[in-house]
Amino acid sequence: MFSLLTAGDTRFVSREGGKRPAGNLGAENLRYRKWCEEKLSWDRSLDVNEGQNDKVNLSILYVEDELITRMTIHKILAARYTTIYLAQDGREGLDIFEQHNPDIIITDTRMPIMDGLKMSQAIRAVNPEIPIIFTTANEDSEFIQETRNLGITRNIIKPILLKDLLATVEEVASKILSRRTLPATE
């Protein structure tokens, strides 16, 4: 059973009673601090929203099993894009995709229940054109080739550099928006 909680333009989807072990909180806290430092540096040097009050009218599905990573990236994306859907594994991500058909998908590859690769294969069967961005620690050449065969838009190697993630999302968003504004051809 899934519940959908709304906070502004963000949808949080979680399984009832779906508690998971906290893992190594020391490593998570260190990683979170590094993300925050990088985000502050990024915001000071390239403030994407400076002089703009409007967010980009796109929806993004972000699938990540690590809570701190998921919430950190969510906050950054929510400052720039109108709708962010969050899922903690591929099964939830696939369910959200089927319900909401987001414009862009960003997903981790290794997750419990259903990994990002299997989720992406199921999504590609329905929508072969949707941009899918992988965040992964897997640099194995066979894996990279499999993502190319699947038509993954980009592989961003973990630990994620925010400037790389944001540049990729902005590049994809720009292409989507330009297609929306093109006049229809007969």
Pick the closest to residue 120 from 159, 81, 146 (CA basis). Answer: 146
Q: Of the candidates 9, 11, 7, 19, which has an alpha carbon nearest to the alpha carbon of residue 99?
A: 11
Does the pLDDT value for residue 3 go beyond 70? no
Q: Which residues pair with 84 in a beta bridge?
A: 10, 60
In 3-state terms, what secondary structure has residue 150? helix
- Say what percent of the chain tops pLDDT 90: 52
- The answer as to CATH 3.40.50.2300 being correct for domain 2-13+27-181 is yes
Which pairing describes strands 10-15 and 2-7: parallel, antiparallel, or unpaired? antiparallel
Sequence ranges of the domains in the chain: 2-13+27-181
Q: Do residues 80 and 52 touch, judged by C-beta distance below 8 A?
A: no
- Mean pLDDT in the chain? 78
Backbone torsions φ then ψ of 38, nearest 5 degrees: -65, -40
Cα–Cα distance measured from residue 61 to residue 106, given in angstroms and rounded to the nearest whole number: 6
pLDDT at 99 over 70: yes
| Of 142, 134, 143, residue with least CA distance to 108 | 134
Handedness of CA 48, 51, 53, 54 (dihedral sign): negative
Q: Closest Cα to residue 74, out of 131, 129, 35, 126? A: 35
pLDDT digits (tens, 9 = 90+) for 15-55: 444 434 444 445 555 665 565 555 554 443 334 444 345 89
The stretch 59-84 carries a mean pLDDT of 94
> How much is the pLDDT for 1?
31
Residue 152 near residue 120 (C-beta atoms within 8 A): yes
